[in-house]
Structures are given as structure tokens and as C-alpha cells.
Structure 1
């Protein structure tokens, strides 16, 4: 039996590749961010403006602290001038849901474009593991706090008892405490200022020649930006207030460590689900009529609420992007099949053709 060679339809293949590339581009377009250096000691030098990846932050922080790294990087933004005088601490403030605080926020820093290639970065855990391997006797201050959860701050052995400011020093022009998004943002800002005051006291943190690691996660700017819009006056005011608070926190850490600290801010706009705001506020009280909740009850509610558990955003995004990829892939396949020439592309048509010749 003689069967001629099947020649694929180049136009159909091109269209299929176009759709696949489009899907990848749509997903990748939401993966941008910024790495900002608010302070670095003289032993480190940050220069240039090259892009780095979020998955390499753990290597950057490890190299800055004089720890061993596991992955080589082509990033030329940081140089270690003095490997015998590395910083005593690294502070990372992770701001969720925005690509940058913007130049209008007044944040004075050295900034680098950040390619977000991890949805939930393991920067803190990786650097923490390396610190524990290096300092087996302990004594390191390892702090990982979500500013939206005051229980994590109050249960921290490093900061101990903290006092939250009742009001902010700055007068609000556009933000309204009566709005849930605004209220949550202001609560996180007060928590950040409470940490600043605690560090400024000079008792919780002191220079002791032992490597420390701090990670603070700011979550409420994203829903506020979604609610008002990224270019709204409310969002711009929120970014400015946050930038001022970060500058104050940076100065407090620099003073506590006598300048031997690397203070960084990481902003990412990885697509997150906008969840309904809980009726329980950050201060442990219900926003509506009802009883006051103590810290233990608040924590228990967070742990038992399956609708808004810690895994909810990850599971939702996995399902969302999987469905989108499947839908666009199906459209691309159907579109390619519509343009298919049965006489040239399909082996089924050729095998059943009445014009097929057989060699006897």
C-alpha cells in the first residue's frame, strides 16, 4: 500500500501557536513587581537598574548576610564590598497586590524591576533555614508577621507587648475609616507604626553581632486599590501614607542596628482573589452590632473558617488559571480544526479515500 506523506497545514499550526503564546502572555502580564532598597550598609553596594526574579531574593539576602547560596545568579545589582562586615539583619516588607508604590509616594529608595515567578515566595523560609544551619546555638531573631493579624505580633517573643496608636498623626484627605477597605488599611498601618515605636525604644532589638531576619507582610493595599482604582486619589494617599511609614520603620531599624541592616521593600501585583472582608476587624472586634471577641476567639474563627482559609487564594487561582488555559486551548484547537484541509491534513480521510491505490 502506497500512502503519500501528510503535509500539515502551516496556517493552522501558526494560529494554534499564536493562541498558546497569547495565553502565556496573559498570565505573565500579571507577574510584575519591584525590589526597593531603603537602606544598605557600606559593605554592600547596589547599582544599576537590571531586572531580577523573585525566586532569587533568597539568594540575594543570603549573599548579603554572608550565608551560602544554592543558585548562581547573573544579576549584577548587588556587590559585596566587605565580606567580613556583612549586615546583622535583613528586613523585608512584602506589599501584596501592587506592582509599585510609585514615584509620587515619596519613597526614597534604589529600585529594581522584579519578575514575579513565584505565587507564594519561600524567601523567608529559605533564608531562615540557612541561618539555623549556620547558627546551631540559636539566638537569632526570626520574625515573620502578617500585619493584618495582630495576634502574630502580640505573640512574638521579639517585640513583646506593643501599644497601638489610636489615631494617625497625618490627617486623612480622601480615605474614610467608615469604609471597610480604608479601615483595614489604616489598621495595618497602625500595626506597622506600633512596630516602629517598639524598635525605636531600643529594647526589643539591639546590635549583638548575630544575624537576624524580619519579614512583614502588608495585605490591605490591594483590596483598597481594587475598590477605588489604581489611579484614584484614595489609592495615591494610601501609598503616600505607607511610604512614610516605611521610611520611619527603616530609620528605626537603622538606628537599632547602628546602620548594619539591609532594609528592603518588595511589591508584587500577582493576581489575587478579592475576598469578602470579614466582619471581625484587626482589633479583634466585630464591625457590626455584637459582642467583643478576644484574641483566642479571633484566632479560632480564622482557623475554622474554611471559606476564607489560608489555602483559599491558592486553590482559587489554581482552578481559575487551569480553566482559562483549558478554555483558550480548546478554542485554539477548534479554530485549527476549522481551517483543516481534509485532503491534506487528516490521515482518516486519506486512509478511507476511494482513490487510494494498493500495490498487489
Structure 2
């Protein structure tokens, strides 16, 4: 009985962890050589194997997931694009209607998809020449490192615009709009001809971080969050069209949404800083600046700063505590249900019929 209760509590804890790890894997465009079918869920740790198989590279992990079929192994995609969106479990029907969506089981806190794909491509193509980009849209200071791929990338500005619910003077809204403009900057460069096919496989990873903080502030079902999802969905559709045109259709474009639990303050550490030229709230035309540009005065923000590892450490301690408490309860319950005459060595050792030394 005690073992049964322990298993029950352990299952309960794992189900809670799984509920906090929901997400969605969306196929925005796939070439004719690949066929995605079904609606079965896929584990996030399997994405690197899906991308590797799509490229025709060797895979390390076998899986029963049957959502991908290689129709033509001799015409695999020349490029794969992954847009990683933090803070929401799904963009729903906001992305283009022909997209195919799969429930995503988020079994990795910090996925290593880009790192593994990059390593496999570099092993396969020792002569180099592959375009391998990992773009953090929240950090425009790194954009110039992609000059060889996209050309000159000036820090984008958040333009004056009239939106129904999002406001430029709300920090979380502004950070979202700034990242959105950064994504549009890359779309414009692709449409301008910065990328062209060269028969060498490429991998592009874009990371969109600010939607989580916006959702925390306004609520996941708020009008602001819905408007933000709509704007992002439209941008992803344009990104898919731009890459499809650039590679003549020989590209796999995907989006990965995940709502893995983060605290709001931990997410804020990765946000775009505003210009330090004025202590007041910037206007709509304030450009995004590189991280660390400008030092705020000591009285500007007295709140406690958190390291980038805060969220990971918090989750480890939290769920270890939950598992420990339920395990302790199960052990106490098992002891309470114990038969003293049969199970306890204490009662056997103190039996009245035990021989005594004279």
C-alpha cells in the first residue's frame, strides 16, 4: 500500500511538471521532398533529430514519432529555419492557415538544437561555407556579427504606430515591439536579396524572448497578449514567405512555442535596455541599443538584479522540494500501515520469549 501511494504521488508530480512544459511545433513551410502528417505530439529533445533527418544527416536518437516522411532523399531542403518563441504554448490559428501544428512536450529546459545541428553540419561539411546563425532578437548589439550573411544591420527603431491595445510607453509592450521590428529587419534583408541558394545546407535560428514578460504583465488571455500574438503570427508568415522565395522553395521553416515556467524578473534580465540618453520614458522612435549601452543611476531602479541562472535554480529547488515532500508523506503513510508484529525488527528483538543471559 505504501509503495502504491508513493507511485501515485510521483505520478502526480510528474504530471504537474508536464503541464508546465507545454508547447507547439509548427511547420510553416516544407519542401516537396518532405511530408509532414498527423497530429501526434513530439518531444522537444527530438527536434534536432527531425532537422537532421530533414537535411539527410545521421541521427543519434530513434523515435516512434511518425510525423515526418522523406519523400525524396536526393532533394532535401537546402536550409532550415527555426523561430523559437518563449512565453506562449501556442500561436494558434494566427500563423498562416496551411501551417501544420504538433503538440510539443517540452522535456528540455534549455534546448541544444542549434548547437547539435551546427556540430553535425560542420562534421559533414569540413570545407565550411555553411550559413549557421543563432540570432537573439533581444540583443541588437550582436547583429553586426551577421554582416557577412545579411549585410549592414542598423539597430531598428520602433516606429510610431497606432495599435489597439499595445502601448509604446509600457515597458513590456515596448520590448515586444522592439523585438518584432528586429525580426522585420531580417525579413526586409532577405526580401532584398541578401540570401541566395548555393547548394550548401544552412541553418537559421531566431529567438524571440519578450512575449513571456508581456503575457505575465497583462495575462495570457488579455487583449494585449492576443494582439501581440497576431502581430508575431503575421511576421512569421512574412518570414516564411521571404525564405521560401530566397531558396526557391527548398527550405523548411518552423516555429517552436514553449511556455516553460520562468519568473518575470528572470525574463527581464534578457530584455532590451532603453537608450540611456534620457531618464524619461523614450518616445516611439527610440532605437534599440546594444546590451549594456549606458549605466542607469543608482536611484533609477533599486530593484534586486537576478542572474541568468535564477530561473533554472528556482525551478530545480522548487520541484525538488515538491517531490521531497510527497515522498516524505508516502513514507509516513507506509510506516503507519506497518504490521508491528511482522514488519518491525524492534518488536522481534524485544519479544518476551527471547532467551536471556543468566
User: Do both proteins adopt the same fold according to a TM-score greater than 0.5, normalized to the shorter chain?
Assistant: yes
Cα gap change, 1:133 to 1:106, in 2 (>3 Å): closer
1:66 maps to which residue? 56
Q: Deviations over 1:256-297 (max 9, x none)?
A: 11111100001112222322675996265249718x997474
Cα gap change, 1:280 to 1:210, in 2 (>3 Å): closer
Q: CA deviation at 1:107?
A: 5.7
1:316 maps to which residue? 314
Cα gap change, 1:123 to 1:210, in 2 (>3 Å): same
1:182 maps to which residue? 173
> Does structure 1 conserve the Cα–Cα contact (< 8 Å) formed by 2:76 and 2:250?
yes
SS at match of 1:155: helix
| Match for residue 216 of structure 2 among 205, 218, 226 | 226
| Match for residue 35 of structure 1 among 25, 35, 45 | 25
1:115 maps to which residue? 105
2:332 maps to which residue? 334
Please give the alpha-carbon distance, in whole angstroms, between the structure 1 residues aligned to 2:294 and 2:51. Answer: 31
2:241 maps to which residue? 251
TM-score (normalised: structure 1): 0.86
1:5 maps to which residue? none
> Does structure 1 conserve the Cα–Cα contact (< 8 Å) formed by 2:40 and 2:67?
yes
2:300 maps to which residue? none
Q: CA deviation at 1:338?
A: 3.8
Please give the alpha-carbon distance, in whole angstroms, between the structure 1 residues aligned to 2:319 and 2:275. Answer: 36
Unpaired segments of 5 or more residues in structure 1? Answer: 1-9
Q: How does 1:127-142 map to 2 (within 5 A)?
A: 127-142=117-132
SS at match of 1:133: helix
Q: CA deviation at 1:250?
A: 0.9
Cα gap change, 1:63 to 1:277, in 2 (>3 Å): closer
Cα gap change, 1:272 to 1:279, in 2 (>3 Å): closer
Please give the alpha-carbon distance, in whole angstroms, between the structure 2 residues aligned to 1:134 and 1:90. Answer: 16
| 2:188 is the alignment partner of 1:197 | yes
Please give the alpha-carbon distance, in whole angstroms, between the structure 2 residues aligned to 1:289 and 1:277. Answer: 22
Q: CA deviation at 1:241?
A: 0.7
> Does structure 2 conserve the Cα–Cα contact (< 8 Å) formed by 1:107 and 1:247?
no
Unpaired segments of 5 or more residues in structure 2? Answer: 281-285, 297-303
> Does structure 1 conserve the Cα–Cα contact (< 8 Å) formed by 2:266 and 2:307?
no
> Does structure 2 conserve the Cα–Cα contact (< 8 Å) formed by 1:273 and 1:317?
no
Q: How does 1:1-360 map to 2 (within 5 A)?
A: 10=1, 12-104=2-94, 108-157=98-147, 158-163=149-154, 165-167=156-158, 171-203=162-194, 205-275=195-265, 282=272, 285-286=275-276, 289=279, 295=290, 297-298=292-293, 307-354=305-352
Q: CA deviation at 1:336?
A: 3.3
> Does structure 1 conserve the Cα–Cα contact (< 8 Å) formed by 2:210 and 2:271?
no
> Does structure 1 conserve the Cα–Cα contact (< 8 Å) formed by 2:28 and 2:96?
no
TM-score (normalised: structure 2): 0.86
> Does structure 1 conserve the Cα–Cα contact (< 8 Å) formed by 2:89 and 2:257?
yes
SS at match of 1:156: helix
Q: CA deviation at 1:332?
A: 2.7
Cα gap change, 1:20 to 1:345, in 2 (>3 Å): farther
Please give the alpha-carbon distance, in whole angstroms, between the structure 1 residues aligned to 2:184 and 2:355. Answer: 84
> Does structure 2 conserve the Cα–Cα contact (< 8 Å) formed by 1:280 and 1:286?
no
SS at match of 2:244: helix
Q: How many residue pairs are counted as aligned between the two chains?
A: 343
SS at match of 1:266: strand
